[in-house]
Structure 1
């Protein structure tokens, strides 16, 4: 099969080469023909910075987002040959930047019926990260998504701040917070993306080209929030400490928030760094929302398989609006 490979973990240089079609070896392995995948910013450094997690034995195929068709299933599987599926493949196993991949049954969900393969590939990592940040790691009541009125009333009294709100994760977090009935949804973005972020459901905007988060909240302390979802790290995460309420939650997918606490900020907050859990059951919940036309993936651009390097270069450069998708097969 044709596969994208990262030959050297110290370099972002990728090559397209031939590798053997993977053979199912784990009891949950499902062989899938890949139709599309997406890069994730930072993934080309994972093996370098987390060698205890990304072992040298991993075949270095990037692109852990998968959209494809099932070719074989383990005995007793809930999936069947020919099913259209999608998944986030655990980062310590070969990804979907190849014509065939081996997600595990626990990672898989049936493809949303109203999405193309391109849109489906743009969904798993970003939607799971936002969903789990809000409802698993954060303090937003997930039952509101299915109409629970008590949960809706609780969420209506909460304020959530989302950094890099036009990004792939940020755009999902804005939409999911909106659907959960969160009363205050603050999106941090640039001037050019203000209209886009508002269209997703943000009730307030912080234009980081005009002011940082700490200046924004210093103007009016009533702007403090109950939950911050940090998707960018760096100074933005440090500024976020000024905006969290006493006893609030700061969730980062980039680094440990406590390490970015500014001098002089003594308020108590629950803070954590977390890695996404590739749960197919969470994807099932997201699928229901997609098929009801309540949320949708955002596709920045599409790249052909042979031009794969452009996709990783664009993502690593930052400032994409949504996901960059790599077409692997001709089925779209």
Structure 2
């Protein structure tokens, strides 16, 4: 049974970032109530060390209000759903204890983690990899879990030691981004030959260093043009949607698999490919502490690495979002919360 330490004595936290939806602005609240954990929901009170941002997360309240406010009746949006921090209190029977260093992807139906104290649940959490510092750890959960589920739940790869991957190729779209860097690494570890779509010579070198054996520069040729020249691959994972997802249909072989985290692939199937037999799927990642624990093992054993684009102090949150929204981040944009 996990012990329960004392909730911080001060009734207010020093800083919380809140996205005020009516005015659509981010504001720092210098003092805001410490969230109260509910043991019946497996809540842990966490002191946040750092959080990582997700592209377009500030538009989620407008796009998905029912999901965003399901457990947030005050409709106070705190961004940053990746988390690295220290357990302050734990519910009975939790595998985590006060003082444990953890990381997690928390559900956006609750306020996020750009605040000094937050709530994380047992099923969302894993012990922080020992080899990573607080900033590096915050970059991992969303991106790595998304990549893990894309490959091992939806794309048909049966695990890191799947012998059936021998000789198969996987195309990763937007390979230098937050999720892309993990898809490249996990696909390489699983034995796939990785083709990475990039947009610069710098990113070409970057993704090859992560395990890609071939690249496609979208500024020089479309995916369709590349497929006409090089032939189709067994698995395509799209992270962009739109015209890129439409062109991705030309890149996947008959009997292959096309996965998107942006929109359903079937809606972007080109008219001329209506008879092409492709397993295609769209999914939204589910926070999963067990997936994260497997990723921790890979990190601790040195099989892969976290990728930090940039690190920002809490007061520089606007610049952090500007960097994120610029669309050219390599890896994750991180905000430091506490030392």
TM-score w.r.t. structure 2 length?
Answer: 0.91
1:319 pairs with 2:331: no
1:32 aligned residue: 46
1:209 aligned residue: 219
Distance (Å, rounded) in 2 between the aligned partners of 1:251 and 1:93: 27
1:169 aligned residue: 179
Question: C-alpha deviations, 1:275-321, integer Å up to 9, x for none?
Answer: 11100000000000000011111000100011111111211221100
Give the conservation status (yes or no) of the 8 Å contact 2:147–2:182.
yes
Deviation at 1:154, TM superposition (A): 0.9
Cα distance change, pair 317–143 in 1 and its aligned pair in 2 (3 A): closer
1:54 pairs with 2:62: no
Deviation at 1:27, TM superposition (A): 2.6
Distance (Å, rounded) in 2 between the aligned partners of 1:205 and 1:74: 48
From 24, 31, 35, give the equivalent of 1:22.
35
3-state secondary structure, aligned to 1:217 = helix
2:165 aligned residue: 155
1:131 aligned residue: 148
Distance (Å, rounded) in 1 between the aligned partners of 2:141 and 2:335: 14
1:200 pairs with 2:214: no
Deviation at 1:228, TM superposition (A): 1.0
Give the conservation status (yes or no) of the 8 Å contact 1:70–1:80.
yes
1:148 aligned residue: none
Number of equivalences: 319
3-state secondary structure, aligned to 1:175 = helix
How do 1:143-292 and structure 2 match up within 5 A?
A: 143-144=160-161, 151=162, 153-182=163-192, 184-191=193-200, 192-220=202-230, 223-266=231-274, 267-292=276-301
1:6 aligned residue: 19
Distance (Å, rounded) in 1 between the aligned partners of 2:285 and 2:83: 15
Gaps of 5+ in 2: 1-12
3-state secondary structure, aligned to 1:160 = strand
4+ residue runs over 2 A deviation: none
Give the conservation status (yes or no) of the 8 Å contact 1:71–1:82.
yes
3-state secondary structure, aligned to 1:118 = helix
2:307 aligned residue: 298
Distance (Å, rounded) in 1 between the aligned partners of 2:22 and 2:294: 35
Give the conservation status (yes or no) of the 8 Å contact 2:45–2:118.
yes
3-state secondary structure, aligned to 2:41 = coil
Deviation at 1:141, TM superposition (A): 2.3
Distance (Å, rounded) in 1 between the aligned partners of 2:302 and 2:78: 33
Distance (Å, rounded) in 1 between the aligned partners of 2:23 and 2:294: 37
3-state secondary structure, aligned to 2:335 = strand
Cα distance change, pair 268–315 in 1 and its aligned pair in 2 (3 A): same
1:82 pairs with 2:99: yes
1:119 aligned residue: 136
Question: C-alpha deviations, 1:145-170, integer Å up to 9, x for none?
Answer: xxxxxx2x311132111000111110
Distance (Å, rounded) in 1 between the aligned partners of 2:305 and 2:68: 31
Deviation at 1:59, TM superposition (A): 2.9
Give the conservation status (yes or no) of the 8 Å contact 1:111–1:287.
yes
